[in-house]
Chains A and B, each alone.
Chain A
Amino acid sequence: MKYLSQTALRAGAVGVAVLAAAASMAQAEGKSVTIGLTSDPSHLYPLAGEELSSNIMYYHLYDPLVKRAGDLSFGPGLAESWENVDETTWRFNLRDGVTFHNGNAFTAADVVFTVEKARESIRPDLVANIASITAVDDTTVEITTPKPYAVLPNDLAELLVLDEEYTTATGDTDMDLKPMGTGPYMLDQWIKEEKLVLKAFDGYWAGAPKIKEVTFRPITNPATRTAALLTGEVDVIQDLAVRDVDRVKKEGGFSVITRPSLLNVVLAMDMREESPTIEGKNPMTDQRVRAAIAQAIDVDAINKIVMNGLATPSDQYVPSSHIGHVDGMNFREMYPLDIDGAKALMAEAGYADGFTMTLDATNNRYVNDAQIAQALASMLAKINIDLQLNIMPKSNFWGYIRVPTENSSFIMSGWDVPSGDAGSMYGALFYSRGKKDGYGQVNRGSYSNAEMDALVDQADSTPKIEERDALLQQATKILMADVPMIPLHYEQDIYAARDGVMLEPRVDKFLWAYDMDVK
């Protein structure tokens, strides 16, 4: 027995030595980083679907024509420059000498192919604002939009260019396993649910990446993710659990990095004359009732008690970086917490005794979503609104609340606009329902305001971005006065990294190793 345990020990020592040797070998080959993600990507083929982990991989492997920086500023990507030929025609001058990982040259034909491929795929929304595309020559494409559309370049930041020859030969199913793009990294190895390893593409057009090998490990359980960071198995983790923030801060050698996300948690109020869960006339058709509900909600209390201080109360429907945000305007100042004032408004509207309605919310989509719903119920009880809770998993939720919203009066959901422009959100959420194709499709509260519709129409038909901004700012002012929806807070993205990892989190959450560095 003694002999046995000694061999075991010796084997252990050898194992450790081998590990150490492997580690130092990796060091010699170049910098590497291991990142703990919340889940394994579902796809590596950008037209197969989207969710965060897949998006993170897409931007390592592929490039868009227009590049969205971490702060949501837009700049040249595979297109070096672009200009308006006329109000609905755009000309994009493509970068010369770019190659895909397999050595194929990137040309205008690839861009045309990608747009047409997207139209037939599960993501036609990516090219919804493109009417036609033609290759003028090898390095120029011309895109026409159905109507003047000032933010086309922002939209193109989400369209990742495929290699026509390779994609056609490989087929959709295999593209998920064998991706081929022009991006800064190439796929080295993907063992499902275990690890995905990327190798630097040294021929990258913007310069070879500093970090030569990136390993992504899916670690779903938040506590395990923290443990993996603390034991040094990973260098960076995504979504550090709120309860582990203090623990990691206290531990030497690690830092916690937070930044407000783009995800605005909002409450949509039904504005039809009759509402599915309210008996009699719908009180929320009256602006005073909507304002009263807004004033009865204590966002600071939600932030402190439910979110552990890790949320940022929303000032408007879109963040300040976006087109359409009005500087200096703050929902929280317009509708500050004021129970007596709210009660007075309710009385003025003729609902001093309140009413009963149901809130539909998720329990696995947003941070602490079910707890927020419970907090809302107790807050609204103070102005005599009896809020019933209907809480369900997200797999049921989206179908349940879907327009024409036959079941809901009051809905909690989240909305983010990574394109940096309020227009798409306003068009989808606040445009009158059923008036125009592609507008108002998510207008769950049936809000309808002719002035608002006109502003969105005008914004969507000007080729000038300043005009669009001015029009959308006007729209924002109308919305803030009308309160068809109450913005609650932006969730905060929380990362943790060991010291020596340089990480500036992106607003859109897409971790990008090309921008990172390690010591």
Chain B
Amino acid sequence: MFGYLLKRLIQMTLVLWVVSVIVFLMMSFTGDPVFMVVPIDATDAEIAQARRLLGLDQSLLVQYGKFLTSLVQGDFGNSYVFRQPAMTLILERMPATVEMVLVAMALAIVVAIPLGVYAGANPNSRISRVIMAGSLLGISLPGFWVGMVLIYLFAVHWGVFPSSGRGDTAEFLGLRISLLTWDGWHHIMLPAITLSLGTMAILLRMTRAGMMEVGRQDFMKFARAKGATRRDVLYKHGLKNALIPVVTIFGLQLGDLIAFATITETIFSWPGMGKLLIDSIYRADRPVIVVYLMLVALIFVVINFIVDIVYTLIDPRITLK
């Protein structure tokens, strides 16, 4: 286990380093950030002053060196646009995103797993066909369209949910959480539903495929023969064996949604961190982009680590090496 952890840690450091190098290189092609900061009629002297204040007057290599040295000291650099620590900018927006994603993922699981098991166990029933057709819709409808339709129907037309924003929040362990207030729940539903549809459809199809595969195995018939109820056979014996690929996808989707929920956040003006990434790309705000993408890489590494551990719980034959 210790060896495994060490290996993971080295891998992670390597990944983070590569991400930082790639972003630094990429950003030298996306335009000069200084022009995003100065007025358009700025004189050369004014531009030079801004460049100096932002630390952009040095060569890319020196800038990267400075970035690495301050990184080691726990300083992730300041945003060119906001002039604030990049890490703070991201972290203060993160709880809102994570919260929305967790609700979306919970929704996805609660709907997808039972429906997927059902559709896998009864592939030819009419209900299964309806479920599968629905899941195709879930995969193919673009999130921004679904979001707009939900806003139009539930906010403007029927007035049951608010159109945008996060609503009231309550403090918990120093974090602002909207799930602790009724108004917060009220605001989170539409964005969470929008965000969950794609994942829901994928999980549902994965579960169904796994169940159909497992259903043909002999141990399923044995289990039924020894007298286990149909429900126990499906959920205890079947689902458990169909779950490995589902968990893998779940982990990847979770990371993906946390990192890139941008579209949903923009449509519902949800104060999350995805929008920060897009804004920063538009403004060539390299420090924020670097830290953001490194953080995303870290999130993926951690999620995959947890997924690995979950594997061993689902299937004792798998061990971490």
Q: Contact between B155 and A441 (Cβ–Cβ < 8 Å)?
A: no
Interface residue tally for chain A (C-beta within 8 Å): 58
A364 touches which one: B82, B176, B282 (CB < 8 A)? B282
Q: Contact between B271 and A194 (Cβ–Cβ < 8 Å)?
A: yes
Mask: chain A, 266-310; 1 = CB below 8 Å from B; 0 = not: 000000000000000000000000000000000000000000000
Decide yes or no whether A320 CB sits under 8 A from chain B. no
Contact of A395 with B83 at beta-carbon distance under 8 Å, contacts A230-B156, A233-B165, A442-B40 already known: no
Chain A residues 115-139 with CB under 8 Å of chain B are: 121-125, 128
Decide yes or no whether A449 CB sits under 8 A from chain B. no
Decide yes or no whether B272 CB sits under 8 A from chain A. yes
Mask: chain A, 227-254; 1 = CB below 8 Å from B; 0 = not: 1101101000000000000000000000
Decide yes or no whether B134 CB sits under 8 A from chain A. no
Q: Contact between B50 and A122 (Cβ–Cβ < 8 Å)?
A: yes
Decide yes or no whether A176 CB sits under 8 A from chain B. yes
Decide yes or no whether B298 CB sits under 8 A from chain A. no
What CA separation (Å) do A217 and B33 show in the bound complex?
A: 27
Chain A residues 421-438 with CB under 8 Å of chain B are: 424-425, 428-429, 437-438
Q: Contact between B53 and A122 (Cβ–Cβ < 8 Å)?
A: yes
Contact of A231 with B30 at beta-carbon distance under 8 Å, contacts A42-B82, A122-B38 already known: no
B155 touches which one: A221, A231, A364 (CB < 8 A)? A231
What CA separation (Å) do A159 and B184 show in the bound complex?
A: 40
Q: Which residue of A lies closest to B89 (CB)?
A: A192
Q: Contact between A227 and B164 (Cβ–Cβ < 8 Å)?
A: yes
Mask: chain B, 162-193; 1 = CB below 8 Å from A; 0 = not: 11111000000000100000110010000000
Contact of A441 with B42 at beta-carbon distance under 8 Å, contacts A231-B155, A396-B31, A399-B32 already known: yes
Decide yes or no whether B93 CB sits under 8 A from chain A. yes
A206 to chain B, nearest CB (A): 28
When distances are taken between beta carbons in the complex, the residues of chain A under 8 Å from B208 are none
When distances are taken between beta carbons in the complex, the residues of chain B under 8 Å from A425 are 41
B35 touches which one: A50, A399, A438 (CB < 8 A)? A399
Q: Which residue of B lies closest to A438 (CB)?
A: B43
A162 to chain B, nearest CB (A): 16
Q: Contact between A233 and B43 (Cβ–Cβ < 8 Å)?
A: no
What CA separation (Å) do A347 and B35 show in the bound complex?
A: 40
Decide yes or no whether B20 CB sits under 8 A from chain A. no
Decide yes or no whether B315 CB sits under 8 A from chain A. no
Q: Contact between B183 and A15 (Cβ–Cβ < 8 Å)?
A: yes
Q: Contact between A192 and B39 (Cβ–Cβ < 8 Å)?
A: no
A217 touches which one: B148, B165, B275 (CB < 8 A)? B165
Q: Which of B62-70, B262-270, B302-310 contacts A (4 or more CB under 8 A)?
A: B262-270
When distances are taken between beta carbons in the complex, the residues of chain A under 8 Å from B276 are 193
Q: Which residue of B lies closest to A124 (CB)?
A: B46
Q: Contact between A219 and B37 (Cβ–Cβ < 8 Å)?
A: no
Chain A residues 44-96 with CB under 8 Å of chain B are: 48-50
Chain B residues 10-61 with CB under 8 Å of chain A are: 30-33, 35-46, 49-50, 53-54
Chain B residues 144-172 with CB under 8 Å of chain A are: 148, 151-152, 155-156, 159, 162-166
What CA separation (Å) do A14 and B156 show in the bound complex?
A: 22
Contact of A398 with B40 at beta-carbon distance under 8 Å, contacts A217-B269, A224-B163 already known: yes
Q: Contact between B163 and A231 (Cβ–Cβ < 8 Å)?
A: yes
Decide yes or no whether B121 CB sits under 8 A from chain A. no
Decide yes or no whether B81 CB sits under 8 A from chain A. yes
When distances are taken between beta carbons in the complex, the residues of chain B under 8 Å from A396 are 30-31
Decide yes or no whether A173 CB sits under 8 A from chain B. yes
Q: Contact between A193 and B32 (Cβ–Cβ < 8 Å)?
A: no
When distances are taken between beta carbons in the complex, the residues of chain A under 8 Å from B224 are none
When distances are taken between beta carbons in the complex, the residues of chain A under 8 Å from B282 are 364, 393-395
What CA separation (Å) do A12 and B93 show in the bound complex?
A: 28
What CA separation (Å) do A395 and B268 show in the bound complex?
A: 25
A234 to chain B, nearest CB (A): 9
When distances are taken between beta carbons in the complex, the residues of chain B under 8 Å from A227 are 151-152, 155-156, 163-164
Q: Contact between A223 and B151 (Cβ–Cβ < 8 Å)?
A: yes
Mask: chain A, 12-39; 1 = CB below 8 Å from B; 0 = not: 1011001100000000000000000001
What CA separation (Å) do A174 and B74 show in the bound complex?
A: 19
Contact of A192 with B93 at beta-carbon distance under 8 Å, contacts A125-B46, A221-B266, A231-B163 already known: yes
B83 touches which one: A11, A176, A428, A441 (CB < 8 A)? A176
What CA separation (Å) do A191 and B37 show in the bound complex?
A: 23
Q: Contact between A233 and B30 (Cβ–Cβ < 8 Å)?
A: no
Q: Contact between A221 and B159 (Cβ–Cβ < 8 Å)?
A: no
A399 touches which one: B31, B45, B275 (CB < 8 A)? B31
When distances are taken between beta carbons in the complex, the residues of chain A under 8 Å from B43 are 125, 128, 437-438, 441
When distances are taken between beta carbons in the complex, the residues of chain A under 8 Å from B50 are 122
A421 to chain B, nearest CB (A): 13
B267 touches which one: A48, A221, A437 (CB < 8 A)? A221
A218 touches which one: B46, B54, B156, B269 (CB < 8 A)? B269
Chain A residues 420-465 with CB under 8 Å of chain B are: 424-425, 428-429, 437-438, 441-442
When distances are taken between beta carbons in the complex, the residues of chain B under 8 Å from A402 are 35
A220 touches which one: B40, B53, B176, B266 (CB < 8 A)? B266
Q: Which residue of B lies closest to A364 (CB)?
A: B282
What CA separation (Å) do A358 and B244 show in the bound complex?
A: 56
Decide yes or no whether A212 CB sits under 8 A from chain B. no
Decide yes or no whether B92 CB sits under 8 A from chain A. yes
A-B contact pairs, 30 of them (CB 8 A): A11-B182, A42-B81, A122-B50, A124-B45, A125-B38, A128-B43, A176-B82, A192-B89, A192-B93, A193-B93, A193-B271, A194-B271, A217-B164, A217-B165, A220-B269, A220-B275, A224-B267, A227-B152, A227-B155, A228-B163, A231-B159, A233-B163, A233-B165, A364-B282, A395-B282, A397-B31, A399-B35, A400-B31, A437-B45, A442-B41
Instruction: Kindly list 10 other residue pairs between chains A and B, CB separation below 8 angstroms, not including A128-B43, A227-B163.
Output: A124-B45, A125-B42, A173-B78, A191-B271, A221-B266, A223-B148, A364-B282, A394-B282, A395-B35, A398-B40
User: Which residues on B are within 8 Å of A, measured CB to CB?
Assistant: 30-33, 35-46, 49-50, 53-54, 78, 81-84, 89, 92-93, 96, 148, 151-152, 155-156, 159, 162-166, 176, 182-183, 186, 266-269, 271-272, 275-276, 279, 281-284
